């Protein structure tokens, strides 16, 4: 691990990339993302070592340094580590950083596009597809469920939110950095590519025609989730098979992340993943 550098002035140019993170989340990050907390830092370290994501810099509360030393040692020596007091870190970030651990990561320019990711999937594969997933908590929950049930990749259409947004990444407990994903194109572009690659495509909806427990096993499965409220578009419902989760009539539908967790659990069982 590189020797930590003490930062005493919030205006120090060496930590400029950490400045005003709330505003940075809203205005864009030029390919950067914010990893917050020990668990997410550990996931970033693994992704950094595997070459999936780059780590640009790390900022740690001085009394947390010894507790994360083993994680910091997993980053390459060219990643600078800065330490500061709580007062200085809060002034840099623009809010109370009670977790005391921040890192700036970057997605490599060579990340695969949608068709390249489809082509790279194994013969036995389970993928999750998101259409119009606009809530960052739901996006993070989808990735956390995907990691739990062995999903090989996540495909988000262009109308979905960025899963590398700080809150989505935190809710996912770093799973966004572990599960391969792309975010591009229309939902039909994504589904047609998966269909051509031999995937059995199942849209999940309260109006689905088959109960989730009756979905037959397939070596290649794609579970499609729609946005809260509106659900899946009519053209998706009409063109592909649909499934539902049985529930009481008193509630319209489940939260999208909760529904995905239930459905993925069932599909992962049929594929022998769990």
User: Domains of the chain: which residue ranges?
Assistant: 5-106, 114-270
Range 114-270 classified under CATH 1.10.10.10? no
The reported pTM is 0.91
Topology adopted by domain 5-106: 60s Ribosomal Protein L30; Chain: A; (3.30.1330)
DSSP of the chain: -PPPEE---TT-GGGGGGTTHHHHHHH--TTEEEEESHHHHHHHHHHHHHTSSEEEEEEEEGGGTGGGHHHHTTS-TTS-EEEE-HHHHHHHHTS--TT-EEEEEE--TT---HHHHHHHS-SSEEEEEESS---HHHHHHHHHHHHHTT--EEEE-TTSPPTTSHHHHHHTTTGGGTS-EEE-S-HHHHHHHHHHTT-EEEEE-TT-SEEGGGPPP-SEEEEEE-BTTTBS-HHHHHHSEEEE----TTSS---HHHHHHHHHHHHHHHTT--
* Per-position pLDDT tens, the chain of length 274: 668 999 999 999 999 989 877 766 654 567 789 899 999 999 999 999 999 999 999 999 999 999 999 999 999 999 999 999 999 999 998 877 777 899 999 988 777 899 999 999 999 999 999 999 999 999 999 999 999 999 999 999 999 999 999 889 999 999 999 999 999 999 999 999 999 999 999 999 998 999 999 999 999 999 999 987 778 999 999 999 999 998 877 676 789 999 999 999 999 999 988 8
């Amino acid at each position: 691990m590189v020797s930590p550098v003490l930062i005493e002035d919030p205006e120090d140019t060496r930590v400029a990339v950490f400045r005003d993170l709330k505003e940075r989340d809203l205005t864009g990050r030029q390919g950067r993302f914010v990893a917050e907390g020990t668990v997410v830092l550990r996931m970033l370290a693994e992704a950094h070592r595997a070459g999936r994501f780059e780590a640009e810099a790390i900022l740690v509360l001085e009394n947390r340094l010894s507790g994360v030393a083993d994680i910091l040692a997993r980053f390459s020596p060219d990643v600078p580590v800065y330490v500061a007091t709580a007062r200085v870190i809060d002034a840099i970030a623009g809010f109370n950083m009670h977790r005391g651990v921040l890192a700036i990561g970057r997605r490599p320019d060579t990340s695969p596009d949608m068709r390249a990711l489809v082509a790279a999937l194994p013969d036995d594969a389970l993928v999750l597809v998101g259409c119009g997933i606009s809530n960052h908590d739901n996006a993070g929950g989808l990735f956390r469920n995907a990691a739990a049930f062995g999903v090989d990749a996540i495909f988000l259409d262009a109308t979905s939110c960025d899963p590398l947004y700080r809150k989505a990444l935190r809710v996912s407990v770093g799973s966004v950095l572990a599960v391969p994903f792309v975010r591009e194109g229309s939902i039909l572009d994504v589904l047609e590519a998966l269909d051509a690659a031999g995937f059995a495509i199942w849209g999940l909806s309260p109006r689905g025609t088959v109960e989730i427990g009756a979905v037959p096993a397939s070596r290649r499965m794609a579970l499609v989730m729609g946005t809260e409220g509106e659900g899946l578009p009519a053209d998706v419902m009409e063109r592909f098979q649909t499934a539902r989760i049985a529930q009481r009539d008193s509630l319209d539908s489940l939260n999208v992340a909760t529904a995905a967790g239930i459905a993925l659990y069932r599909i992962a069982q049929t594929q022998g993943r769990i």
